[in-house]
Chains A and B, each alone.
Chain A
Amino acid sequence: MPSVEVFRDEELVPLELRLPYRRDRNYLHSADIFQALTNVAQDHFAPDAYIESLVLRRQAVRQIRISFQAEAQMIGTFGIRVGREQVRGWLVETDAEVLTRVPYDECWAVAAVVGGPGFAQFMEPVAGYTAFEQLLVLMKVAGGQGQHDAWLCKITLSSPLFNTKPLAVRLRLRALQRFFSFEILQDECLLGEASASLRS
């Protein structure tokens, strides 16, 4: 298997993403961004590579370019874990319009949530939703913002987010009247942390 250095030399080129809007949103959904980055990580670096961190400083209303060089006008950053190495990247909003829209309904996942403000969990993985999508639903419920717009601004993971076991989140911190921070739990183990922001 080629070394990480070989991957790094050959694959650290910018990549243009082509993502859709979801339902009535006019910004790119973090779940689509996360999945696209996961695909890049596994296609370009290693099959078991995963997204260790993702920071979104604002919502993207146009397409995104992945860059592996520091970009001053970035809207976010990410880290890919490849074995013992981490590859750092930047997300840049381009001039390309988002031309497609896909249906998306969280209601089935919301209906499966057990808990409420402070702590929320699924008793089993919810079919039809990725683990990341389920995580976002849990964050909205645990943050007490189920009926309000909220968007993920940061996530850090100590291991990949699999959909094989149910997830839970615990509210850890609420600050500045718009940010919420959660612990991510799976199988009673701390998997990472995620933060969300209320749309201002």
Chain B
Amino acid sequence: MPPITPAQMRVFIARMDSVIDMDKLQDTTPFTEAGADSLDFFNIISEIQTATGVYIEDEDIEQVNTLAGLVAYLNRRMM
């Protein structure tokens, strides 16, 4: 499976029912700074698990609080 790109993840997140301001969400912008609340973060984790089978552990949450971090984490886990 080819690596996921931040652009693909952006599309994936944009399709979710969230309060994230996608215009503010750059690759290294923390999701919370783009307006995400805890429910949005949970939904991202949940949808990613459904789509990829990868479960993001609670202790890894700090690694995935940006688009770039989330993509890097997933690509490591799916290697």
* Interface residues, chain A, with chain B CB atoms under 8 Å away: 53, 55, 57, 77, 153-154, 173, 175-179, 181, 195, 197
B7 surroundings in chain A (CB, below 8 A): none
Tell which of B19, B41, B55 touches A173, judged by Cβ atoms closer than 8 Å.
Answer: B55
Chain B CB count within 10 A is highest, among A153, A154, A175, for A175
Q: Is residue B61 contacting chain A, with contact meaning CB distance below 8 A?
A: yes
* Interface residues, chain B, with chain A CB atoms under 8 Å away: 17, 19, 37-39, 41-43, 45-46, 49, 55-56, 58, 61
| CB pair B41 A176 closer than 8 Å | yes
| CB pair B56 A77 closer than 8 Å | no
Contacts A53-B17, A57-B19, A77-B17 hold; do A173 and B45 have CB atoms under 8 A apart? yes
Contacts A173-B46, A175-B45 hold; do A55 and B58 have CB atoms under 8 A apart? no
- State the CA gap A53–B38 with chains docked (Å): 19
| CB pair A175 B42 closer than 8 Å | yes
Instruction: Give 5 closest A-B pairs by Cβ, nearest first.
Output: A179-B42, A175-B45, A181-B46, A153-B39, A57-B39
The 15 listed contacts between A and B (C-beta, < 8 Å) are A57-B39, A77-B17, A153-B39, A154-B39, A154-B43, A173-B49, A173-B55, A175-B46, A175-B58, A178-B38, A179-B42, A181-B42, A181-B46, A195-B39, A197-B38
- State the CA gap A197–B42 with chains docked (Å): 10
- Closest approach, in angstroms, between the C-beta of A145 and any C-beta of chain B? 15
Task: Specify the chain A residue showing the minimal Cβ separation from B42.
Answer: A179
A175 surroundings in chain B (CB, below 8 A): 42, 45-46, 56, 58
- Closest approach, in angstroms, between the C-beta of A174 and any C-beta of chain B? 9
| CB pair A195 B17 closer than 8 Å | no
Contacts A176-B41, A176-B58, A178-B38 hold; do A195 and B46 have CB atoms under 8 A apart? yes
- Closest approach, in angstroms, between the C-beta of B64 and any C-beta of chain A? 11
| CB pair B19 A176 closer than 8 Å | no
B39 surroundings in chain A (CB, below 8 A): 55, 57, 153-154, 179, 195, 197
| CB pair A176 B46 closer than 8 Å | no
- State the CA gap A178–B42 with chains docked (Å): 9
A176 surroundings in chain B (CB, below 8 A): 38, 41-42, 45, 58, 61
